[in-house]
Structure 1
Amino acid sequence: MNGKRIYSIAGGQCGRETLLAILREHPEIRFVSLVAIDLAGNDTDERIPIQTFVADIDAFLAGKAVQTDGSSVVLGGMTSLADAQVDLAPDLTATWFVDYNEEHVDHETSLPVGTLRIPSFLVHRGERIDSRSLLAATVEYARAEILKLVRIHASSPLLAHLEPARLADIEFTVGTELEFWVKTPTDTANVEELSAAQMLQENYWQRTRGVARTALEQAVMALEAYGLHPEMGHKEVGGVKAAIGAGGELTHVMEQMEIDWRYAAALQAADNELLARILVKETFRANGLKVTFKAKPIPGVAGSGEHTHLGIAGVLPSGRRINLFAPADMHADFLSVIGYGALMGLLRNYEVVGPFISASNDAFNRLKPGFEAPVCIVAALGLDPAIPSRNRTVLAGLVRDVDNPRATRFELRSPNPYTNTYLALAASILAMLDGIRWAVESGTPPEALLAEISKKAGEPGSYLEQDRAYRAEVNVFENYSQEERDRLFGIPPATVWENMQNLLAFPDRIRVLTAGSALTPRVIDAFRSAATARWKHELLVRIIPEDLDTVRACQPLALASDRAQDLWKRIDTLRHELADDTVGNPALCTRLMSTLSNNSLQEASELQVVLADRMEHLRQLEDEYRKLVF
């Protein structure tokens, strides 16, 4: 026993004898938990006594010791009540983390009780069917394909600066930015105050104070202890100033924050993101604050994204890495041939990538015009290769530093903190691979690739769709009307149902996702089925009942002015439309519940859009009505 905490065990150091030695050195580790990720992004968690683990360690490491009920996790019908067993198999190549319970001290060591969290796979009938395994298989497939591609075309002058003949490996690098809201648990949001503070830009990168500052600093330090190499923690655009209590402490905390940490290889980056959410939530909770990672926790106020940075590096035998997106001359070109191909692949195939990124009602609550939430399939490169710029209204932005080619990457802005990062990355990598393959095999030079991605809608493209535009260097919300955006960049899905239908509507692009052995048609159908079921049931048991509560809470006030009477008349008309059933004329909420129950899901999706619009209008009228009280 060394009396010091151990926070992680590096991948490749999880052999039997090494592991037993570590556990002997750290008796505060009392439990083991096998962490697998279902298709919805939920992580399994359990408490297995360390004595049980040690006594049967060979079976644990072989994935033969722990089974679970596959029908109770989100696997979209790949398991059933009659065929439910799934085995949890540890990933011996991943970094394992020790989760310390600060509220439970081990009396023998005087250290918090630790649980060794082991990233794992779900295995059903010998087949890995979980999100981690799907990303791992995708990375392996895409890695091999790109290596083969660049070696075949090693003599091409378009690839010369990437030293293709010398590349020994390919690495997909990923970085995530975690945004979240923090509040005093019992407080409710004052939307008007929050909106005003946002418009006045009173919070972004402002100084944190009191318990919020303490919690933020502790969270950043926790990420450092676990080896995630945090880069920054700061206040985001949302929030209002806290009050000061009688004892000088801050009360009524409500603000938005962001924490960033260093990029990592794709699978490890997704594991790190899961750990970071746990550390952030527990650290703020220990300080009496509640964290939410919802994409849109407060209507009418900026939501939380999880901008995801995507890069590809070639690895030389020496270990030196070459950014495959960077051009030969950073001052003359935006991207390399591989970089252009990757971006074009992501854009052309985004209709079938998007469902893996935005699969919840909450995600679509955020994806509205404005608030820097991307709704258009469009990218920005910058105004000039020599002067990098950032357009924050697009789906994918090029991030680059002319003095540091290794920093060249794409920022995908659509994910949110509850996006299943594993599946989102798998789909994005396969889409990029499709574009890379076309760009390299076609021998198209960078200037022609730039012309294609910059083409106007209606101009033919060799790879991209003729009737679409794919690049915008202006604010797409201010410079284009909704009709223009729909015409130029495509009509975005408005609901989960519409998004999942894209997995049926674009068979040619589905073939891009199924090119490897990971995202098979069976897996894609299972994901679509699971996401659709969750969408349907959330509407029935949560969203519609909450909307009905809001409608019922709208009651007339003792106000005699003509303005008040007019507002109440409009509110009451909406109330009846939403919730008052009459013979032969069911209310909107009733119609939506009926279509969902009857599995008339296309109609239900259309009614959901109408309901959301009516509820927003009702809240605006009710707010205006109550302001007349004096």
Structure 2
Amino acid sequence: MEKLPTSPEALLKYCRDNKIDYVDVRFTDILGMMHHVTMHIDAMDVDAFTDGIGFDGSSIRGWKAINESDMLAKLDPTSAYVDPFFEHKTLAVIADIYEPARAKGEVPKTYSRDPRQILRRAVEHMKSTGLTDTCYMGPEAEFFVFSDVRYDQEMNQGFYFIDAVDAQWRMGAEESPNLGFKMRKKEGYFPLPPNDQFQDLRAEMTEMLNKMGIPPERHHHEVSAAGQAEINFKLDESLKQADKVQLFKYVVKNVARKNGYSATFMPKPLFGDNGSGMHTHISLWKDGRNLFAGDWYAGLSEMAKYFIGGILHHGPALLAFTNPTTNSFKRLVPGYEAPVSLVYSARNRSASIRIPVAVHGEKARRIEFRTPDPAANPYMAFAAMILAGLDGIQNKIDPGAPADFNLYEATEEQKKKIRSVPANLTKVLDALEQDNAWLKVGGVFDDDFIENYISYKRAEVENIVNMRPHPYEFVLYYDC
């Protein structure tokens, strides 16, 4: 990737020198969706970076009321990249959101509901403790690639239809001709072509990510039979990595669409096969040294032990940000390689926290939090993970003994000692309501954000679970 200038003046000069006609201003809402507004280069000057661009915050979900809708988007020049998907040459720049000044001489304030600002505050608080100066994150956001997707919800009907070229259900389809080599359920992990029909598509995604400054490590077909995929990229500092997750999703979706496919990061789009997770590797560093390397269990340090303790202790509330949809909990069920137990273990992929042991040297020592899924807003999820871990370190929260056994085959006696993740989003929101003081340390989250978020998510539950007939209810109850 070409290294772009990082000052506003130099960046605008770069645009004019390279005949870039548009600047696309991008930001993320509380649900993780990216928004954008496109400015002509002749309408741009350094004020966009220092003073911001005005927009209507009341039109963004979970943000402003109509009577307080004016907001400012201040461009971050260090986040710029040239968009490869637009016909007209366009520079994309991520913005931070501010409240406009209400009186002369007043300075615009950071917006407390801006997810990127929340993660900024989490990192600033982390550094202020003196414990660490860097949190590295390595998320693995899995996704599905479908060849046909249709869905609708009306008063008198509701349906979804999904198709995938390599799915088991297409073994008997008339494809003129059907050449076979479909995936059997739960057998999508690592097969060679012709069974793996998406090698070239994933490679194209990987090449595009590399060109855009997201260094890839590997890609492969995932366990689910229907086009499930994973592309891993190198770890980075938490704020940069959250930006990269958003760009990663953008690239994956647009490369898929360019090739006539639809990519989704919905955690559980299919019944009866594995869902998509966002396993997140985490380590804390200071002065270039990995603080998670030590002589405790599995080569970890005492600091890592207490970080694990914080994640597990606050797990039920933490899931409000790492697994934020009703669909998330259809993935978190036993039997589909989902980490449903709030325990830790070396190598054990059925635990919420796994300690990878097939690593080389102290620099690679880390934990892997396996419960999150790719529906998560990465800014809020990473911020909450950092705060939960820091609370564990500062209060020396002991995670207990490791679970070095198959959690799906645990004895009744063992099961009594194991805490499970909450069964649904309602229980997670209940937990967040009761356990949120750790999120407000350092002013990272505030009561306004937490109350607004819980209210928004409870309305989702009401709409999805409590108000709308489910297609399977007709199967069960129509003839009652």
**Normalised by the shorter chain, which TM-score bucket?**
0.7 to 0.9
Higher Cα Rg, which structure: 1
Residue of structure 1 in register with 2:93 after alignment: 118
User: CA 1:63 to 1:532, structure 2 compared with 1: closer, same or farther past 3 Å?
Assistant: farther
Residue of structure 2 in register with 1:170 after alignment: 133
One of 367, 375, 383 as aligned partner of 1:418? 375
Distance in 1 of aligned mates of 2:408 and 2:92: 44
SS in 1 for 2:334: coil
Query: What letter matches 1:435 in structure 2?
Result: G
Query: What letter matches 2:57 in structure 1?
Result: G
1:342, distance to aligned residue in structure 2 (A): 1.0
Provide, for residues 191-240 of structure 1, a one-character-per-residue CA deviation record: whole Å limited to 9, x for no partner.
767998235x3x2111245862221111111111112110001111112x
Structure 2 counterparts to residues 122-271 of structure 1, below 5 A:
122-125=97-100, 126-128=109-111, 129-145=113-129, 147=130, 149=131, 170-185=133-148, 188=163, 197-199=184-186, 201=187, 203-209=188-194, 212-239=198-225, 254-271=226-243
Distance in 2 of aligned mates of 1:454 and 1:60: 51
Residue of structure 1 in register with 2:10 after alignment: 18
Distance in 1 of aligned mates of 2:66 and 2:275: 38
Query: What letter matches 1:188 in structure 2?
Result: D
**Counterpart check, 1:272 vs 2:235:** no
1:367, distance to aligned residue in structure 2 (A): 1.1
**Counterpart check, 1:527 vs 2:473:** no
User: CA 1:400 to 1:91, structure 2 compared with 1: closer, same or farther past 3 Å?
Assistant: farther
SS in 1 for 2:10: helix
Residue of structure 2 in register with 1:463 after alignment: none
Distance in 1 of aligned mates of 2:341 and 2:12: 52
Residue of structure 2 in register with 1:323 after alignment: 290
Query: What letter matches 1:519 in structure 2?
Result: F
Structure 2 counterparts to residues 462-477 of structure 1, below 5 A:
471-477=402-408
Unaligned runs of 5+ in 2: 101-108, 150-161, 172-181
Provide, for residues 393-447 of structure 1, a one-character-per-residue CA deviation record: whole Å limited to 9, x for no partner.
01111124564111111111111122111111111101111121234xxxxxxxx
One of 38, 63, 69 as aligned partner of 2:56? 69
User: CA 1:480 to 1:356, structure 2 compared with 1: closer, same or farther past 3 Å?
Assistant: farther
**Counterpart check, 1:287 vs 2:271:** no
1:30, distance to aligned residue in structure 2 (A): 2.4
Provide, for residues 311-354 of structure 1, a one-character-per-residue CA deviation record: whole Å limited to 9, x for no partner.
11112xxxxx2100000x58x86321211121111111222211
**Counterpart check, 1:513 vs 2:459:** no
User: CA 1:377 to 1:23, structure 2 compared with 1: closer, same or farther past 3 Å?
Assistant: same
1:89, distance to aligned residue in structure 2 (A): 1.4
Query: What letter matches 1:505 in structure 2?
Result: Q
Structure 2 counterparts to residues 274-423 of structure 1, below 5 A:
274-315=246-287, 321-327=288-294, 329=295, 334-380=299-345, 382=346, 390-401=347-358, 403-423=360-380
Residue of structure 2 in register with 1:479 after alignment: 410
Distance in 2 of aligned mates of 1:185 and 1:231: 29
1:576, distance to aligned residue in structure 2 (A): 3.8
Residue of structure 2 in register with 1:627 after alignment: none
SS in 1 for 2:222: strand
Distance in 2 of aligned mates of 1:322 and 1:140: 19
Structure 2 counterparts to residues 432-581 of structure 1, below 5 A:
432-439=389-396, 452-455=398-401, 471-480=402-411, 485=415, 487-490=416-419, 492-506=421-435, 510-539=436-465, 544-545=468-469, 547-548=470-471, 574-577=477-480
Query: What letter matches 1:535 in structure 2?
Result: V
User: CA 1:35 to 1:523, structure 2 compared with 1: closer, same or farther past 3 Å?
Assistant: same
Provide, for residues 80-139 of structure 1, a one-character-per-residue CA deviation record: whole Å limited to 9, x for no partner.
1211121111224x422221226x2xxxxxxxx232221112223523231000001111
User: CA 1:95 to 1:400, structure 2 compared with 1: closer, same or farther past 3 Å?
Assistant: farther
Unaligned runs of 5+ in 1: 1-5, 105-112, 150-168, 240-253, 316-320, 383-389, 440-448, 456-470, 555-570, 578-630
1:178, distance to aligned residue in structure 2 (A): 2.2
- Do 1:309 and 1:409's aligned partners in 2 also have CA atoms closer than 8 Å? yes
User: CA 1:91 to 1:196, structure 2 compared with 1: closer, same or farther past 3 Å?
Assistant: closer
SS in 1 for 2:223: strand
Across the aligned residues of Structure 1 and Structure 2, the Cα RMSD in angstroms comes to 2.6
User: CA 1:230 to 1:491, structure 2 compared with 1: closer, same or farther past 3 Å?
Assistant: closer
One of 42, 45, 52 as aligned partner of 2:36? 45
Query: What letter matches 1:511 in structure 2?
Result: A
1:279, distance to aligned residue in structure 2 (A): 0.9
Distance in 1 of aligned mates of 2:386 and 2:236: 15
Distance in 2 of aligned mates of 1:84 and 1:192: 48
- Do 2:15 and 2:91's aligned partners in 1 also have CA atoms closer than 8 Å? no
User: CA 1:24 to 1:192, structure 2 compared with 1: closer, same or farther past 3 Å?
Assistant: closer
Query: What letter matches 2:93 in structure 1?
Result: I
1:43, distance to aligned residue in structure 2 (A): 1.3
Distance in 2 of aligned mates of 1:511 and 1:527: 15
Residue of structure 2 in register with 1:30 after alignment: 21
Distance in 2 of aligned mates of 1:492 and 1:309: 19
User: CA 1:8 to 1:418, structure 2 compared with 1: closer, same or farther past 3 Å?
Assistant: farther
Deviates more, 1:209-218 or 1:256-265: 209-218
- Do 2:198 and 2:221's aligned partners in 1 also have CA atoms closer than 8 Å? no
- Do 1:400 and 1:409's aligned partners in 2 also have CA atoms closer than 8 Å? no
Number of aligned residue pairs: 446
Deviates more, 1:358-367 or 1:265-274: 358-367
Distance in 2 of aligned mates of 1:279 and 1:398: 30
User: CA 1:337 to 1:273, structure 2 compared with 1: closer, same or farther past 3 Å?
Assistant: same
Distance in 2 of aligned mates of 1:345 and 1:307: 17
Distance in 1 of aligned mates of 2:75 and 2:240: 14
SS in 2 for 1:453: coil
Distance in 1 of aligned mates of 2:479 and 2:54: 51
SS in 1 for 2:284: strand
Distance in 2 of aligned mates of 1:299 and 1:257: 17
Higher percent of residues as strand: 2
Higher percent of residues as helix: 1
Instruction: Compute the TM-score of the two structures, normalised by the length of structure 2.
Output: 0.86
Distance in 1 of aligned mates of 2:326 and 2:303: 35
With CA pairs under 8 Å and 6+ residues apart, which has the higher RCO, 1 or 2? 2
